[in-house]
């Protein structure tokens, strides 16, 4: 039996144990269902919510906001990271303001975006962009700072232009760091969207979360949390798949 198969089997075993504990432990401890519903109760509520509350529609809205926020935030973060890495002077000028924006709690911007743009998808996307932006920026900037100068000097010795050095040396060299930031950003995008929907949403899974909380429907809250987790996992592994496709030549990517 291969090591990879053993890993999958152990992981499956952990999942089975977790589901078994969820199913039988709450009744055994006499925990009320409104505090902690067991697996079968949550599963039944999920089947009801799927039809009665149009959960697929709300999940689609949240997924769209996550994808758009992740893409725009990643593009903006990567572009800013490369720009600052290419120009130390620009980095010195902008770094205090970027630091201040990073320190400011992103959640606090959600009500402001709702006041500006109303109860639409745009405030949620903006919060996601704001949260996604910094991990991508920091990873790209760190990779640019730690660039091997011998590579760029070698390219210059072959009369490469600045543009050629950037696209042929610096971008490929920093791609592993970029994808490390994208992995983090893919999960943070879900958090950003949900925060926006909690603050001012009339659609999406965050809205359903508030709706079920208001009803005291604990099982429904668990169903929404499971759906959000599934979206986050899908986003993360989409980045992993793209990373393996683009960086297949790196030994660490094949393990």
User: How do residues 94-130 score in pLDDT, each as one tens digit?
Assistant: 888 888 888 888 888 888 898 898 888 999 999 999 9
| pLDDT confidence band for 20 (50 / 70 / 90) | very high
pLDDT in tens, 34-84: 889 999 999 999 999 888 888 999 999 999 999 999 999 999 999 999 999
Q: What b/e string do you get for 19-45 counting C-beta neighbours within 10 Å, with b at 16 or more?
A: eeebbeebeeeeeeeeebbbbebbbeb
Task: Report helix angle 122-145 to 88-103, nearest 10.
Answer: 140
pLDDT of 252 reads 53
| pLDDT confidence band for 253 (50 / 70 / 90) | very low
Q: Degrees (nearest 5) of the Cα angle 49, 55, 60?
A: 165
pLDDT of residue 241 exceeding 90: yes
Q: What average pLDDT does the chain have?
A: 89
Q: Is 182 exposed, middle or buried (0-12, 13-18, 19+ CB in 10 A)?
A: buried
- For 168, which DSSP code? I
Q: How far apart are CA 69 and CA 153, in angstroms?
A: 37
Question: Quick one: CATH architecture of 39-254?
Answer: Orthogonal Bundle (1.10)
Q: How far apart are CA 232 and CA 239, in angstroms?
A: 11
Q: How far apart are CA 61 and CA 115, in angstroms?
A: 20
Query: What are the structural domain ranges in the chain?
Result: 1-31, 39-254
Rounded to two decimals, the pTM is 0.88
pLDDT in tens, 210-221: 999 888 899 999
pLDDT of 87 reads 86
The number of angstroms, rounded, from the C-alpha of 11 to the middle of its chain's C-alpha atoms is: 23
pLDDT of 17 reads 95
pLDDT of residue 251 exceeding 70: no
């Amino acid at each position: 039996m291969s090591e990879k198969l053993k890993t999958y089997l152990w992981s499956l075993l952990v999942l089975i144990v977790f589901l078994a504990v969820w199913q039988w432990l709450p009744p055994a401890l006499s925990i009320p269902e409104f505090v902690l519903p067991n697996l079968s109760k949550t599963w039944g509520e999920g089947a009801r919510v799927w039809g009665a509350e149009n959960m697929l529609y709300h999940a689609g809205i949240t997924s769209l906001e996550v994808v758009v926020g992740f893409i725009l935030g990643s593009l903006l973060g990567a572009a800013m990271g490369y720009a600052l890495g290419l120009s130390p002077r620009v980095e010195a000028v902008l770094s205090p303001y970027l630091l201040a924006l990073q320190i400011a709690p992103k959640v606090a911007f959600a009500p402001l975006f709702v006041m500006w743009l109303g109860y639409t998808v745009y405030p949620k996307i903006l919060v996601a962009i704001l949260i996604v932006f910094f991990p991508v920026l920091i990873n790209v900037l760190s990779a640019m700072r730690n660039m091997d100068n011998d590579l760029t000097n070698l390219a210059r010795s072959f009369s490469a232009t600045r543009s050629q050095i950037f696209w042929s040396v610096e971008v490929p060299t920093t791609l592993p760091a970029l994808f490390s930031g994208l992995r983090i950003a893919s999960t943070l995008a879900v958090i950003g969207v949900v925060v926006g929907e909690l603050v001012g949403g009339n659609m999406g899974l965050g809205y359903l979360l508030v709706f079920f909380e208001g009803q005291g429907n604990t099982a429904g809250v668990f169903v929404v949390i499971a759906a959000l987790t599934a979206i986050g996992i899908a986003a993360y592994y989409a980045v992993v798949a793209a990373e393996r496709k683009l960086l297949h030549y790196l030994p660490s990517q094949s393990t």
